[in-house]
Chains A and B, each alone.
Chain A
Amino acid sequence: DTAVSQTPKYLVTQMGNDKSIKCEQNLGHDTMYWYKQDSKKFLKIMFSYNNKELIINETVPNRFSPKSPDKAHLNLHINSLELGDSAVYFCASRPNRGDSPLHFGNGTRLTVT
C-alpha cells in the first residue's frame, strides 16, 4: 500500500522520559512535516524537511528534535517529556508540485502521565 505510516499508534509514558516517533512515506514525496493536534483539534506545524534539509522550524521547545535520515523518513525525538506534550502527532508529506495535496499518516497519540 502506498501511504504515510507512523509508529507507534499509541504511546503512553511518564514525565521525564525520552521517546521517539517514526514516520515513513513510500509516495516518493520530497517534503515531509510534523504537525501537533491539540485537544481542540487544532493542527499546528512543528517541522518540515525537504530532501533531508530542514526548511521549517516553528517555535517548538528544543526538547523536540526531528531527524530525516533520507527523504522517505522523518522521525521525531522528544526529550524530558512533559504533561503538556500530550497530543496527537501527525506526519505528512507532499511532492514539490503545487497542485498536489498533503498526505497524512494516521497519527500517534502521545499521553504523558
Chain B
Amino acid sequence: KQEVTQIPAALSVPEGENLVLNCSFTDSAIYNLQWFRQDPGKGLTSLLLIQSSQREQTSGRLNASLDKSSGRSTLYIAASQPGDSATYLCAVATRDFNKFYFGSGTKLNVKP
C-alpha cells in the first residue's frame, strides 16, 4: 500500500527566504503527484500537478520536482512571503488514477 511522508512537519522562516518542502512515497508506480495548499478552516487548493513522465512544474514562485524512481518530490518556494503561511500537502495518484494518497502536510509559517 502506498505511504506518503512529508518532512518537516512544521517550518518557520523569516520573510524572503527560499525554502524546500519534501514529500516521499513508497510505491513508484504512480500516475501523478500533486501539491496542495490548505488554509485554516478551508479546503485544499491545488498548486501544481506533475505527471509521472515529467520532472518538474513551475508556477510563479513555486517549483515542484519529481524523482519517481527514488520516490521523492520537492516543492521549492522562492522569496517566501507571510501570505505563503499555510499547510502544504502532497498527494500521489495510483496508476488507475482513482485513488489519491496524501501526506500529513508541512505547516509553514513565514514571519514578517
Contact = CB atoms under 8 A, between A and B. Distances in A.
Interface residue tally of chain B, by bracket?
Answer: 20 to 34
Interface of A is mostly: strand
A98 B101 CA distance: 15
Interface string B48-77: 010100000000000000000000000000
Interface of B is mostly: strand
Interface in B78-92: 87, 89, 91
B99 A56 contact: yes
A43 B89 CA distance: 10
Interface in A6-60: 31, 33, 35, 40-45, 48, 50, 55-56
Contacts of B101: 45
A104 B38 CA distance: 10
A40 B104 contact: yes
Interface stretch (B11-19, B20-28, B39-47): B39-47
Interface of A: 4, 31, 33, 35, 40-45, 48, 50, 55-56, 90, 92, 98-107
Interface of B: 31-32, 34, 36, 38, 41-46, 49, 51, 87, 89, 91, 93, 97-102, 104-105
10 contacts: A4-B43, A31-B98, A35-B102, A40-B104, A41-B104, A45-B99, A90-B43, A98-B51, A104-B44, A106-B42
